[in-house]
Amino acid sequence: MAQERTGVILFKGNPMTLLGPDIKVGDKAPDFRVVDNGLQPVTLKDGAGKVQLITVVPSLDTPVCNTMTRKFNEEAGKLTGDLAVYTISMDLPFAQKRWCGNAGIEKVKTLSDYQDRSFGENYGVLIKELKLLARSVFVIGKDGRIAYREIVKEVTAEPDYAAALSAAKKLL
């Protein structure tokens, strides 16, 4: 049974429960299994040897998630070096593919946690009440350790883009 954590996030002002551990900077990044837009599995190992910027959203079909993913796509496109940029949500891969095509997203690879919920549970960002992922950002260094982590307090708010991008740049 997954660990339950309360008092970490709000959704529209209402307290929510997160399932999974409280991942900290310096921790070894937990493995996960998600699927890409072609239903192929993607794991932590697929980004090995690269800096991994992982942005996590409840659903791409909401205004804040849309803005966040577009912003990271634009900013990550300016970074050079071995960088993998993922946006993970519970959206079905077909919806993610459609959204990316409509939004012109090329730098960010969208991945779905709908099959196993392993990313949400292993990174402690699965919202028990909604069965969606909490808005968050993780930067994993080439050494496989968490270099940056932000779990946005209010799910409907945007993350600290500058801090996340700065953390990724330092590792490139």
Statement: residue 44 has pLDDT above 90: yes
**Average model confidence (pLDDT) for the chain?**
93
| Active-site residue (options: 9, 16, 65, 127) | 65
Instruction: Please choose, from the candidates 128, 144, 139, 145, the residue with its C-alpha nearest in 3D space to the C-alpha of residue 162.
Output: 139
User: Would you state the pLDDT for residue 62?
Assistant: 85
- Give CA–CA dist 101/140, Å, rounded: 27
The answer as to CATH 3.40.50.2300 being correct for domain 4-171 is: no
pLDDT tens, 62-100?
888 788 888 988 888 888 889 999 999 999 999 898 877
**Span 98-111, average pLDDT:** 80
- Give CA–CA dist 111/104, Å, rounded: 16
Active-site residue, 65 included: yes
Q: Tell if the pTM clears 0.85, that is, is over it.
A: yes
**Span 152-165, average pLDDT:** 95
pLDDT tens, 125-145?
999 999 999 999 999 999 999
User: Would you state the pLDDT for residue 116?
Assistant: 95
Instruction: Please choose, from the candidates 76, 61, 68, the residue with its C-alpha nearest in 3D space to the C-alpha of residue 107.
Output: 76
Decide if 53 contacts 164 (C-beta within 8 A): yes
Percent over 70 (pLDDT), the chain: 99
- Give CA–CA dist 128/58, Å, rounded: 12
pLDDT tens, 118-129?
999 999 999 999
The residue count for the chain: 172
